[in-house]
Amino acid sequence: MKPKRSAKPKPKPKPKPMPLSVVILAAGQGKRMNSRLPKVLQPLAGRPLLRHVLDAARQLKPAGLHVVHGHGGEAVRAAIGDNGIRWVQQAQQLGTGHAVMQAMPQIPDDHLVLVLYGDVPLLAATTLQELVALADARTMALLTVRLADPTGYGRILRDARGQVKAIVEQGDATAAQRRISEGNTGVMVVEARRLRGWLNKLRNHNVQGEYYLTDIVAMAVKDRVAVRAQIAASEPEVLGVNDRRQLAQLESVLRTRRAEAAMLAGATLADPARFEQRGELVLGRDVFIDINVVFEGRVELGDGVRIGPGCVLRDMKVGADTRVFANCVLEESAIGAGCHVGPFARLRPGAALADGVHIGNFVEVKNSRIGKGSKANHLTYLGDSDVGEKVNVGAGTITCNYDGANKDRTVIGDGAFIGSGNMLVAPVTIGENATTAAGSTITREAPPGKLTVARARQVTIEGWQRPVKRERK
């Protein structure tokens, strides 16, 4: 008889992750910016500093998102909006500990609290996820950084075993402590119940007369709560912004990051140092981007697109194998495949170019649909228009779409030929395969397949003399 096998012990169930509340401190005035804008609204890559922090925080899917505001709070709220944010006012700026206190009444005891800063915009969501994973009800997680020059940072004090025991601020540090290169980023994760108790014990007996959030680290050690430090992968990731020099430094860091990402996605950059991405960029394969091109909002570039130097693209979709020549400004529009645009062309909101369209130098298109294979190659304005397929629009043509009060549409049928220097006074229709003579002012329908001429009769005045200037006495 075979012996019975002993039952395997059941694995212990993994503890349920604690809900996360994020507190972003954004109350600083930022006097060193020398600006009317609150510091957290200063633009980095075309977007407010605070919005970069919010984007990273939202990737953690927190149960609560709290922003502590102070100086210019109404302007901050108006610029950012209330999209899932719980706004908390810090009427007096009495330090980081005091700022976190303002948010705590809204946070349940069983949450983890992640503290971030509205002027530290380059923290990666992956870094924050790793930090949050270190924390639980019995463990505080702290983000630190190795600094070439730690001046201005709180220093991380460790015991003989290398465990974090406290943080000392620059102004309160001894000469020996100031030589420590490991600095505090201020970013931490703490259980809300413990955090609430420690915040209530804070005192402002320091050089600045402020309630330092960092003082809770020593309290945690005293209460035998483990303090686990995660050292940031790089110094730029945790850099804050206090003046415009530092803002420019972070612009350079972010520009390099985004240029590298674009090249890894398959784009060729003529000069990565002169590449400006100020939003979301979706790239096909074999895209070429020349120098000094600026991308704003969401821009999609299809396979084989080539963008010439000095262009600005804002909220654009560009089809495969399209060429955008130098110095074009394109916004809130869509371009089909195989098009040519520019140089010096402008697409305004609502322009839609079908495949194979040519929009040439000094041509402006606004709120208009341009059909497949149509061309407007020189010095033309097409506004509020519906242009059919294989239409040729001559140089100097203008759709007169605005009468000073209302806007009307111009409709041009397939195969039409619009002569140079035409004024098309909307509302007006040009029929299929119609031709309008150069210099015409079209105010009524031009019939399909016919030549329409609408210009004054040429007259030569005999005996006319050009005026001459009077001699001054």
Give the CA distances from residue 253 to residues 88, 124, 194, in Å, rounded to whole numbers and listed in that order.
31, 13, 37
| Rounded distance between C-alpha atoms, residue 152 and residue 183, angstroms | 9
Residue 278 CB: number of other CB atoms within 10 A?
Answer: 21
Assess whether 378 carries a catalytic annotation.
yes
| Rounded distance between C-alpha atoms, residue 94 and residue 99, angstroms | 7
What beta strand segments (E) does 410-458 contain?
410-412, 417-418, 423-425, 428-430, 435-436, 441-442, 451-452
Contact criterion met (CB below 8 Å) for 412 and 365: no
At 50, list the tokens: 């605070």
Per residue, the 3-state secondary structure of 89-144, as one string, reads ECCCCCCHHHHHHHHHHHCCCCCEEEEEECCCCCCCHHHHHHHHHHCECCEEEEEE
Q: Write down how long the chain is.
A: 473
Q: Buried b / exposed e across 330-358, counting CB within 10 Å, b at 16+?
A: bbebbbbbbbbbbbebbbbebbbbbbbbb
DSSP secondary structure string for all residues of 292-323: TEEEEEEEEE-TT-EE-TT-EEEEEEE-TT-E
Catalytic residue of the set 69, 71, 205, 378: 378
Show the CA angle centred on residue 414, arms to residues 456 and 346, nearest 5°.
Answer: 75
| Rounded distance between C-alpha atoms, residue 180 and residue 267, angstroms | 42
DSSP secondary structure string for all residues of 2-30: PPPPPPPPPPPPPPPPPPEEEEEEE----
| Rounded distance between C-alpha atoms, residue 449 and residue 323, angstroms | 33
Residue 318 CB: number of other CB atoms within 10 A?
Answer: 27
Pairing of strands 139-146, 182-191: antiparallel
CB within 8 Å of 274: residues ≥ 6 apart: 291, 292
Maximum Cα interatomic distance, the chain, rounded to a whole number of Å: 138
Active-site amino acid positions:
378
